Amino acid sequence: MQDWLTMTACDLGRGIGMGQIDPVELTETFLSAIDAHPHRDAIFARVTHDRARAEAQAAQGRVKSGLRRSLLDGVPISWKDLFDTAGIGTEAGSALLKDRVPDADALVLRNATAMGTVCLGKTHMSELAFSGLGLNPTTATPPCIHDETAIPGGSSSGAAASVAWGLSACGIGSDTGGSVRIPAAWNDLVGLKTTSGRLSLEGVVPLCLRFDTVGPLAKSVEDAAHMLAVLEGGTPADLRGASLQGCRFADLQNVAKDDLRAEPGKAYAEALEKLKDAGAEIIPLEVPELTEAMGLSGVLYTTEAYGLWRDVIEANPEAMYPEILERFRAGKAFSGPDYVAAWSKLKACRSVWDAATAEFDAVLAPTAPILPPNLDRLMNDHDYYVTENLLALRNTRIGNLMGLAALTLPTGTPSCGLMMMGYPGSEEALLRLGSAAESALA
């Protein structure tokens, strides 16, 4: 049974379908592992024992009746603490939302439940999802799988930790500037950033609605594909026969490689060689307009975030972690015309990007230019916090600003990910590429 904690979600689902794994026993195994884990309270904000057991029993009944709803029917997963759960606290990592209990599940959670997944509980996160580090002195900071003195990446920090430490088969997070991909990369997981608008944000605590997306942190590309399907009640991408033979990838040169530190740089270069060996053609690409787009981040993100949260924040600002409060209040500096002008410029940059990348199957970049920073130093060195937070999200934010679907894969070097950026709405094609790349990197 202990092996169940390390199996992929799809392998668990296949075991259930073949009658080799009982969903109730599987769920009890995960619940026991969570409750016995030394980092339980640093990873899970709340463990939903009663709900998990009821859903597992229902899955068990469907197995016996031959009425399973999906491959993941009966598989236990975790949910970031910004997805509403009926009758269960949802506080988005902030004391501003302390004791907030929604009346209904988020739509993506309702979809996943309807497809048979089992909700294990809610995982910790960066406060209101506004940091790529995963550091949260207000609630809890989960540990990185490779270094317990380092932060795990955020804002879906607990989602990543729950999977990496074997406490859930898959974690569901959100990605506004990299919040699925950074913790996935730093904990050697697959992370899928979906195209804005593909998955519903109904019942999801917002940060920036025009950039917020929902996505899985998983042990394999196959898991990510099936998780995407259950989140929207659809059909998973067909990954059979996926190959890199004849694929053309762009190796993004500007922005993505600025201040690239030695270890992520080396891991990225080695990963590209493996993709070439598998038959891919990789061509250097520069998109100068991307630099202009990155410069728009401040006005686009902070203006919307502060606009959404201003009244709540200013009613009780002392409840917030000062570093996060400062990020929100940066939105005060911009006017309505600033925000509208920035969006107009971004749309022009997106058109240039689309034209520059049209001939490629995907654009490649290191997922993060840095390794997970030290927790104690982040707490005591403001300049270090600002530098590392901005660098952590720098590469992933390209995908959000350009409106893309994006995938991060483990390279085999701890905490170093390879990011593949596809076209808006190209998740299925991107997952096929990711499946082939996953095999090459392995």
Residue among 336, 362, 378 nearest 422 (CA): 362
Give the per-residue pLDDT at 407. 99
Q: Which residue, 208, 232, 256, sits at the end of a domain?
A: 232
Active site residue 426: no
Task: Please tell me whether residues 285 and 174 are part of one structural domain.
Answer: no
Give the per-residue pLDDT at 307. 98
Q: Catalytic one among 70, 78, 80, 126?
A: 80
Task: Please tell me whether residues 330 and 425 are part of one structural domain.
Answer: yes
Does residue 383 lie in a domain region?
Answer: yes
Task: Please tell me whether residues 193 and 341 are part of one structural domain.
Answer: no
Q: Catalytic one among 70, 94, 126, 155?
A: 155
Does residue 58 lie in a domain region?
Answer: yes
Rounded distance, CA 256 to CA 398, Å? 8
Does residue 158 lie in a domain region?
Answer: yes
Task: Please tell me whether residues 255 and 186 are part of one structural domain.
Answer: no
Tell me: the pLDDT tens digits for 105-123? 999 999 999 999 999 999 9
Does residue 307 lie in a domain region?
Answer: no
Does residue 36 carry a pLDDT above 90?
Answer: yes
Tell me: the pLDDT tens digits for 312-342? 999 999 999 999 999 999 999 999 999 999 9
Task: Please tell me whether residues 221 and 286 are part of one structural domain.
Answer: no
Give the per-residue pLDDT at 193. 98
Does residue 79 lie in a domain region?
Answer: yes
CATH value at residue 175: 3.90.1300.10
Rounded distance, CA 375 to CA 319, Å? 21
Task: Please tell me whether residues 145 and 275 are part of one structural domain.
Answer: no
Task: Please tell me whether residues 190 and 253 are part of one structural domain.
Answer: no
Residue among 409, 372, 389 nearest 147 (CA): 372
Tell me: the pLDDT tens digits for 63-88? 999 999 999 999 999 999 999 999 99
pTM over 0.85: yes
Does residue 239 lie in a domain region?
Answer: no
Taking all residues of the chain, what is their mean pLDDT, rounded to a whole number? 98
Tell me: the pLDDT tens digits for 232-284? 999 999 999 999 999 999 999 999 999 999 999 999 999 999 999 999 999 99
Q: Which residues contact 295 (CB under 8 A, 6 or more apart)?
A: none
For range 364-368, the mean pLDDT: 98
Give the per-residue pLDDT at 2. 63
Rounded distance, CA 28 to CA 42, Å? 20
SS3 363: strand
Give the per-residue pLDDT at 133. 97
Does residue 256 lie in a domain region?
Answer: yes
CA distances from 246 to 242, 302, 355 (A): 12, 42, 21
Please give the backbone phi and psi of residue 166, each rounded to the nearest 5 degrees, phi first.
75, 30
Task: Please tell me whether residues 258 and 184 are part of one structural domain.
Answer: no
Share of the chain above pLDDT 70, in %: 100
Domain count, the chain: 2
Active site residue 179: yes
Residue indicated by tokens 């728009």: 296
Q: Catalytic one among 78, 126, 162, 179?
A: 179
Q: Model confidence at 164, in pLDDT bands (50, 70, 90)?
A: very high
Establish how many alpha carbons lie within 13 A of residue 157's alpha carbon, considering only the half-sphere containing its beta carbon.
35
For range 403-417, the mean pLDDT: 98
Task: Please tell me whether residues 351 and 204 are part of one structural domain.
Answer: no
Task: Please tell me whether residues 75 and 112 are part of one structural domain.
Answer: yes
CA distances from 291 to 188, 254, 280, 352, 391 (A): 28, 8, 27, 12, 14
For range 122-143, the mean pLDDT: 97
Does residue 17 lie in a domain region?
Answer: yes
- Domain with 143, as residue range(s), is 2-232
Does residue 403 carry a pLDDT above 90?
Answer: yes
Check residue 128 and report its DSSP letter. G
SS3 244: coil
Active site residue 155: yes
Strand partners, 249: 282, 362
Give the per-residue pLDDT at 1. 64
Residue among 102, 308, 115 nearest 212 (CA): 308
Task: Please tell me whether residues 210 and 266 are part of one structural domain.
Answer: no
With vertex at residue 214, the alpha carbon angle to CA 77 and CA 387, rounded to the nearest 5 degrees, is 105
Task: Please tell me whether residues 148 and 216 are part of one structural domain.
Answer: yes
Give the per-residue pLDDT at 77. 98
